[in-house]
Amino acid sequence: MGVMHIPGHVHQKPREVTLEEIRSLLGDCHLCPLGSTRNKLVFGVGNPHARVMFIGEAPGKNEDLQGEPFVGAAGHNLDSLLNLAGLKREDVYIANVLKCRPPSNRNPRPEEIEMCSPFLREQIRSIWPDVIVCLGNFAAHFVLHTDKGIMSLRGQMHQTGHFAVLPMFHPAAALYHHEWQQYLEDDFRLLGVWLSEHPADSPATKSEPL
């Protein structure tokens, strides 16, 4: 099924701060010990007017070296998946729950998420997307305030305030669990259908942000 190309959208609310201001405030962050072990802080990248914002877990090895989210094999997988939704990299915004790589790619710790999350919340408010795509459990738990796993959350749109939320497996996980790739492809097609059925500037749910 073909899906129309979805560009960015005009904001329906005033921005509180710009992404540039948030990045400047973050600076050379050392609020948690990850600031001492990272190579580069990975703030986020993409369209500041994106209708779709992707939130992953944390930078990996390649991201830590390049300072950009979703590069390497996981990034190539994400690019091909975006096509299924009628999207391109320049249409979307991509960030992570953590801005710094945990050593050896271990899971984020609660105190690290607590220190880093205000910056992600401000990114969400600044972009004010229509859809937040949560890639993996940590992003889904953060956005939806749930402890349910991705397998039970994926495959359907959720709503939290203004935002439609679509939890998915992380594209990197599908590189090791090949059976999950089909789930990802199905969910990206669902995203494309939702976008085509909810054009930009359609009435949004009036509610408080995260």
DSSP for 99-127, please give it.
SSPPGGGPPPPHHHHHHHHHHHHHHHHHH
Q: What is the pLDDT of residues 123-179, one digit of tens each?
A: 999 999 999 999 999 999 999 999 999 999 999 999 999 899 999 999 999 999 999
* Closest CA relative to residue 17, chosen from 130, 123, 161, 120: 123
Residue position matching structure tokens 């738990």: 141
> For residue 206, what pLDDT is reported?
37
Topology, domain 19-196: Uracil-DNA Glycosylase, subunit E (3.40.470)
Extents of the domains making up the chain: 19-196
Sign of CA dihedral 74, 79, 80, 86: positive
Contact (Cβ atoms closer than 8 angstroms) between residue 104 and residue 22 = no
Dihedral angle over CA of 78, 80, 84, 86, nearest 10: 90
Q: What is the pLDDT of residues 26-63, one digit of tens each?
A: 999 999 999 999 999 999 999 999 999 999 999 999 99
Q: What is the pLDDT of residues 168-204, one digit of tens each?
A: 999 999 999 999 999 999 999 999 999 999 998 755 4
Q: What is the pLDDT of residues 87-99, one digit of tens each?
A: 999 999 999 999 9
Rounded CA-CA distance 19/180 in Å is: 33
What percent of the chain is modeled with pLDDT above 70? 88
- Vertex 86 angle, CA 62 and 126, to 5°: 65
Q: What are phi and psi of 116, to 5 degrees?
A: -90, -25
